[in-house]
């Protein structure tokens, strides 16, 4: 069975993030996206300075074989110059959920 993965993305604009997830689901690049509704406080170094910002995050559930397309789409459409896009392998999942993720996404082969 194909491998699945989770991809996390952060953004400071809720409407953009929700619309982005909807477009990924519509295009069958992800099966689902779980968007946080409570901001997280991000503290990071950017261009030599320590910055703080409220952001939302989403966990996208997809096939491992679609991860590069999701990364490319995020980099092309995200309002940040350098968006957080992290792919995490799923080492185990309920069989039914795993199957659903595969059925809900496009097979790139």
Query: pLDDT tens string for the chain (109 positions)?
Result: 689 999 999 999 999 999 999 999 999 999 999 999 899 999 999 999 999 999 999 999 999 999 999 999 999 999 999 999 999 999 999 999 999 999 999 887 6
Query: Do the domain assignments include residue 58?
Result: yes
Query: Do the domain assignments include residue 82?
Result: yes
Quote the domain boundaries for residue 86: 4-104
pTM of the prediction? 0.93
Query: Do the domain assignments include residue 77?
Result: yes
Query: Do the domain assignments include residue 109?
Result: no
**Residue 64 neighbours by CB under 8 Å, 6+ apart:** 2, 3, 4, 5, 87, 89
Burial class (CB in 10 A: 0-12, 13-18, 19+), 36: middle
Query: Do the domain assignments include residue 61?
Result: yes
Q: How many domains does the chain have?
A: 1
Which domain CATH number covers 58? 3.30.70.120
């Amino acid at each position: 069975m194909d491998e699945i993965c989770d991809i996390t993305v952060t953004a400071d604009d809720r409407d953009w993030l929700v619309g982005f997830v909807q477009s990924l689901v519509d295009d069958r690049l992800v099966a689902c996206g779980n968007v946080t509704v409570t901001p997280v406080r991000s503290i990071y170094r950017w261009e030599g300075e320590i910055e703080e910002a409220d952001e939302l995050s989403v966990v996208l559930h997809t096939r491992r074989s679609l991860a590069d397309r999701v990364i490319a789409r995020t980099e092309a459409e995200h309002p940040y110059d350098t968006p957080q896009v992290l792919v995490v392998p799923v080492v185990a999942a309920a069989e039914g959920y795993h199957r659903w993720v595969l059925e809900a996404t496009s097979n790139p082969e």
